[in-house]
Structure formats: structure tokens, C-alpha cells
């Protein structure tokens, strides 16, 4: 790693999972050229894949699903197909006819040998014929380091193969196996002792009498898979429920006002569950309706007027900004909905583009960090997202130096003892404003631009302390905002540190089990718990609650290690990957020089 936080090319040979998040423009261009050569030879590579230039890839057939990678010094030949989220780690060998499902992990120095030599005594070995039965590996399989899998073997879904094993016979689904030859030790769904030693990590074991998740049948993986199947089967009816055929617009739930956000939520839900656009209109019609709502002068999107057209925005403030919380959130919701529809804003976000660095810093200084950190973080989220969209349209992000000023301000105002901005802690609300503001701020800035957050260990400490507050997280008290605003920071910081990872996973598993029970057939999720009033759309199921909880469930499931069982991955507002591959240069670990917020 150099002094500016960039990494050498060889780093990705051994840590390929970091390529999407940390590669420079030059490294991305080199990878694109390598993949172009591979695809010219007939390979098929999904989005967010990585093939190390130090790997020996000489295949007749190569198929890699999205988010899959081949690390440095791996040796890959023959006919190799892999689903999504697969990894071939350094020095692994994958040869012959190999078929991998989704979520397969192949440890370093392991060998999958989908062919064999004869060894009859009538001729030398090098003249013996080859046979190819092939190897099939199911979904959600972990093959540890230094494993050998022989030709003709099928490894079922959800298996774990311990380090150093030699697999000579088929393994049934859910098998945990080890040894030479490999033999079944137990069923992965059982409540056995902690896994240690040959599996490469220490597992977690709940002591007798501890609280157990309500969704235990088959474990959380089976629970989220059942939920996802159920939700997908009802998605079309859920969207139709919110569609007003007379006006041609969406409302959050029947009888509620028709809103811009409801339309965007419908697009996100359809993408998650149907992998398509909402069936009420064509993708082009959805995009055109949303694009037409943008105010060409400010670049903001006001709420709908009574006739369904764009509403009226308030007058600008002295610094040129237009203070309208709904329109500010629409910078996120509308632009990401357009992404999913294959479109973009019609105009730059001019209120962002016109803001000078001096005015931006003055606005940041004036935000209510001490009392309403969520509002302050939401403003940063809007401004940074507008800057991202402007760059997407090949416009200036803001006035010269403004985007750098944003990250410079954030880097010098972060509190090293919490990893957050502001001190909005009170006896009445605890850390609620502080943590919720952190989510909104980092979503639009560090996460969206692919930058590492400062002080990730302190972030985890602060968020876990807040996540244990029964006022917000006891069973039956959660709402979508509060759970999201813990799950996302834990996930984001968890990309940089394993600090208290077991506690984060336990919290996620508990919240996941409770979240799955909130689904209402034919209607989706409510934003808050039964009986909740106050902020947000309330307890009744609708599009906003459904969109948010679907994303939350993915985050919780990923923290729990079972997100692959959902069959969807957020691609909109709550997408886990950065939205941009370039960002301003800031110090890898900001040094606070002013903590007077």
C-alpha cells in the first residue's frame, strides 16, 4: 500500500475480493482489457468479476457469475462454470469439467481435478488415456485449504470440507466432512460443538438456556430461502395493490397519497423480487415519468402536485440551496430507480453543482450535529449523491474543489472515540440520532464513493452499544430506519475490520429472525411495529416498508453469512457495492483537528 491509500497490482492477486472497492482507474482499465481478451476467446464473465493476471487461465469453456473471482497463481483449465459469489483463491487448481453453483469458496492450494489418467500396465502412464466424469459442486459450499477433490465427485449444497481433506466420494447436502479419505463428521444443520482447527476458524456455539432464534427450522439459511420464495410469489400482487389504474400512479398503500417515493419503491421491489421493472408500465415509460419530474433549474425532484405533475419547490436559501427534505431524498430514490430502469436524470443536480467549496463548508458547519445528527447526515447524503449523479452526467460534481472539501471536512471532524460525527446523545434517545445520522452520512459519501470509513473499530463499538438499547431493538419495537441504521454501519465497517464480528453476527441473526416474521401475505412489510405512530409511514404494510425491509434482510443475512440463500442483492439506494469507481483522494486514516461540532 502506498502513502495515498492505493494498493499495488500484486495486492489483488492475493486479496481479489477488494478489487471492486479499492482498485484504481488504471487497475480497472487493465482488468477490463484482460477480461476483454478472455471474452474474445469465448469466456462469459458477469458483473463485478475479477481474474488475476497472475492466474493461469487456459480454458475451453469459462463462465463466471457476478461477484466471482480467480485469484493470483490459480491454475484453471478445461470446462469451468461458476455461479455468482464464487472464489478460486491463490494457488488453487481447478481443472477438467467443473461445475460450481452459487456461493462456492475454494481455499488456497486446493485442487479440483475433473479428469483422470489410466494406469494399466500395458503402457507408460504418460501414454494412458484420459477420462473425464467431471466434478459438480452445489450452492453455498466451503472447500477449505489444501483439499483435493477427485474426478466424478458431487458435493451437495451447503457442504463444508475441512482443510487437507481428500474427497473421493459424493457428499450429501449439508455434510461437514474432513480426513483422507473424507468422511462425514456431522450435519451442518445440527447443534454441534464449535468448529476449530482444520476448518480455519472458531465457530460459535450457544450455551444451553441462551435465547434461540424463533426461526430455527433448518437454520437461518433455510428461513431466508423460504421467505424469499414466498415474497417473490407475491410480488406482483403487492405492486398491483399500490397501483391506481385511474391515475396511473403509485401510493405507498391503498388510500394513501400518490407520491414520487412510492413509484421509486415499486421499481426497487420489482428489481429485487422479480428482476424486472414493475409490470404496470414498460421500463421506458417508468423512466420517462420519473425523469419528467426533475426541476430543470435546480435539478431537484419535488413531490407530486395534485394533478400528478411536478410540485413547487421553496425559494433558495442565501447559499443557493433549496431546503426541502422530501426533494432532497428524491435525489437518492429517483436517481437509483432510474439506474435500475437503465436510465439517468435528465439534468444535473444544479444546486449541488453551483455550491462553492466555501459555501459547502459553511453549510456543513451550520448543520445541527449536536441535536439532530440524522438531519445533518441526511443533508450530506443528498449533496454527495447529487455530486455522484453530476459526475455520471459528465458534469462538474460541484464547484471546483467542493467534493474534496466535503471529504476534507468529514475527515477533520470525525470523533475518534466514536468514529462518528456529532454528539447527539441524550438520556431520552440514547445514541439514536448519532448512529442514524452516521448511516445517512456514510451511505452517500464513503460507501457510495468506495472510500474506507475512519475508525471502523470505534464505529462497531458505538453501533453495537446502540443496537443493544431495548427502547429501539427489543422484540416488537423495531422500525425499518432504526434496524437499517445499525445493520448498514456494521456491514460497512465489517468490510474493513473483524472487530467484534461474532457479536455483530449474533445481533444480525436475532434481528433477522424477527424481521422475517413481519411479512404480511399480499401486502409486504410495514415500516414500524404494530401500534407505532410518529415518524415514518407507520405500522401498516406498504411499499416503503417493503423496500426498506427487503434491503435490511439482505444486510442482516449477509452479516449472518446466509445472504446467498435469498436469491437477490440490492442494486438501488441500499446497494452494498460503491456506486462510483473513482473518488477524491483523502488520507487513509483522517486526523481530527476540530471536534467542536
Q: Report how far Cα 348 is from the mean position of its chain's Cα atoms.
A: 26
State the helix-helix crossing angle for 357-366 and 402-413, rounded to 10 degrees: 30
| CA angle at 36 for the pair 35 and 38, rounded to the nearest 5° | 60
Tell me how far apart the alpha carbons of residues 195 and 46 are, in angstroms, rounded to a whole number: 33
What 3 state SS string does 8-34 have?
Answer: CHHHHHHCHHHHHHHCCHHHHHHHHHH
Q: Which residues of 27-56 are buried (b: 16+ CB within 10 A; e: fewer)?
A: beeebeebbeebeeeebebeeebbbbebbe
Q: Which helix (H) or strand (E) holds 428?
A: none
Cβ neighbourhood burial of 281 (10 Å; 0-12, 13-18, 19+): middle
Tell me how far apart the alpha carbons of residues 442 and 430 are, in angstroms, rounded to a whole number: 20
Q: Is-contact 86 71, C-beta < 8 A?
A: no
Tell me how far apart the alpha carbons of residues 203 and 214 are, in angstroms, rounded to a whole number: 21
Q: Is-contact 77 114, C-beta < 8 A?
A: no
- Give the active site residue among 73, 109, 117, 330: 117
The cell numbers describing 297, all together, are 433549474
The cell numbers describing 142, all together, are 466451503
The cell numbers describing 236, all together, are 406482483
Residue 139 phi, psi dihedral angles, 5° rounding = -80, 150
Tell me how far apart the alpha carbons of residues 575 and 508 are, in angstroms, rounded to a whole number: 18
Tell me how far apart the alpha carbons of residues 421 and 321 are, in angstroms, rounded to a whole number: 22
Q: Is 258 helix (H, G, I), strand (E, B) or coil?
A: strand
The cell numbers describing 194, all together, are 464449535
117 is catalytic: yes
| CA angle at 82 for the pair 93 and 22, rounded to the nearest 5° | 85
Tell me how far apart the alpha carbons of residues 493 and 576 are, in angstroms, rounded to a whole number: 12
Active site amino acids: 117
Amino acid at each position: 500500500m502506498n502513502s495515498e491509500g492505493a494498493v499495488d497490482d500484486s495486492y489483488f492477486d492475493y486479496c481479489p475480493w477488494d478489487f471492486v472497492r479499492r482498485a484504481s482507474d488504471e487497475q480497472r482499465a487493465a482488468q477490463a482489457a484482460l477480461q476483454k481478451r478472455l471474452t474474445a476467446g469465448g469466456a462469459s464473465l458477469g458483473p463485478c468479476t475479477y481474474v488475476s493476471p497472475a492466474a493461469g487461465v487456459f480454458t475451453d469453456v469459462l463462465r463466471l457469475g457476478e461477484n466471482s473471482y480467480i485469484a493470483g497463481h490459480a491454475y484453471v483449465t478445461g470446462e469451468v462454470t461458476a455461479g455468482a459469489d464464487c472464489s478460486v483463491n491463490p494457488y488453487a487448481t481447478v481443472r477438467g469439467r467443473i461445475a460450481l453453483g452459487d456461493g462456492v469458496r475454494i481455499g488456497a492450494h486446493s485442487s479440483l481435478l475433473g479428469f483422470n489418467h489410466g494406469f494399466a500396465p500395458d503402457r507408460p502412464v504418460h501414454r494412458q488415456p484420459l477420462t473425464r466424469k467431471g466434478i459438480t459442486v452445489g450452492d453455498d459450499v466451503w472447500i477449505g485449504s489444501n483439499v483435493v477433490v477427485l474426478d466424478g465427485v458431487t458435493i451437495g449444497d451447503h457442504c463444508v470440507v475441512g482443510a487437507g481433506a481428500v474427497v473421493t466420494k459424493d457428499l450429501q447436502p449439508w455434510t461437514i466432512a474432513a480426513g483422507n479419505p473424507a468422511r462425514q463428521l456431522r450435519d451442518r444443520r445440527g447443534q454441534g460443538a464449535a468448529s476449530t482447527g482444520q476448518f480455519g476458524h472458531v465457530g460459535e456455539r450457544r450455551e444451553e438456556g441462551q435465547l434461540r432464534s424463533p426461526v430455527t427450522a433448518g437454520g437461518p439459511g433455510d428461513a431466508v430461502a423460504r421467505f424469499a420464495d414466498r415474497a417473490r410469489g407475491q410480488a406482483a400482487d403487492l405492486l398491483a395493490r399500490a397501483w391506481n389504474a385511474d391515475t396511473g400512479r403509485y401510493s405507498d398503500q391503498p388510500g394513501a397519497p400518490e407520491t414520487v417515493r412510492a413509484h421509486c419503491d415499486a421499481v426497487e421491489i420489482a428489481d429485487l423480487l422479480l428482476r424486472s421493472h414493475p409490470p404496470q408500465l414498460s421500463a421506458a415509460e417508468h423512466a420517462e415519468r420519473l425523469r419528467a419530474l426533475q426541476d430543470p433549474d435546480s435539478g431537484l425532484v419535488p413531490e407530486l402536485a395534485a394533478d400528478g405533475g411536478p410540485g413547487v419547490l421553496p425559494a433558495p436559501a442565501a447559499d443557493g440551496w433549496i431546503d426541502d427534505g422530501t426533494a432532497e431524498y428524491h435525489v437518492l430514490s429517483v436517481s437509483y430507480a432510474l439506474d435500475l430502469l437503465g436510465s439517468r436524470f435528465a439534468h444535473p443536480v444544479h444546486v449541488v453543482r453551483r455550491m462553492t467549496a466555501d459555501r459547502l463548508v459553511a453549510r456543513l458547519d451550520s448543520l445541527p450535529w449536536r441535536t439532530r445528527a440524522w438531519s445533518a447526515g441526511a443533508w450530506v447524503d443528498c449533496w454527495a449523491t447529487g455530486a455522484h449523479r453530476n459526475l455520471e452526467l459528465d458534469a462538474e460534481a460541484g464547484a471546483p474543489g467542493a467534493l474534496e472539501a466535503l471529504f476534507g471536512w468529514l475527515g477533520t471532524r470525525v470523533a475518534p472515540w466514536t468514529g462518528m460525527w456529532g454528539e447527539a446523545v441524550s438520556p431520552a434517545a440514547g445514541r439514536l440520532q448519532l448512529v442514524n445520522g452516521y448511516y445517512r452520512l456514510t451511505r452517500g459519501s464513503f460507501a457510495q464513493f468506495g472510500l474506507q470509513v475512519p475508525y471502523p473499530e470505534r464505529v462497531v463499538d458505538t453501533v453495537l452499544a446502540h443496537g443493544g438499547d431495548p427502547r429501539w431493538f427489543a422484540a416488537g419495537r423495531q422500525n425499518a430506519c432504526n434496524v437499517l441504521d445499525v445493520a448498514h454501519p456494521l456491514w460497512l465497517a465489517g468490510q474493513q475490520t473483524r472487530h467484534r464480528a461474532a457479536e455483530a453476527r449474533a445481533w444480525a441473526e436475532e434481528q433477522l429472525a424477527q424481521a422475517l416474521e413481519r411479512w404480511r401475505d399480499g401486502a409486504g412489510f410495514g415500516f414500524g411495529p404494530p401500534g407505532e405512530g410518529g415518524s415514518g409511514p407507520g405500522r401498516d404494510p406498504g411499499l416503503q416498508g417493503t423496500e426498506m425491509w427487503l434491503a435490511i434482510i439482505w444486510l442482516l443475512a449477509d452479516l449472518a453469512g446466509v445472504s446467498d440463500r435469498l436469491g437477490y442483492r440490492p442494486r438501488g439506494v441500499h446497494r452494498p457495492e460503491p456506486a462510483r469507481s473513482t473518488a477524491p483522494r483523502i488520507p487513509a486514516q483522517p486526523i481530527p483537528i476540530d471536534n467542536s461540532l
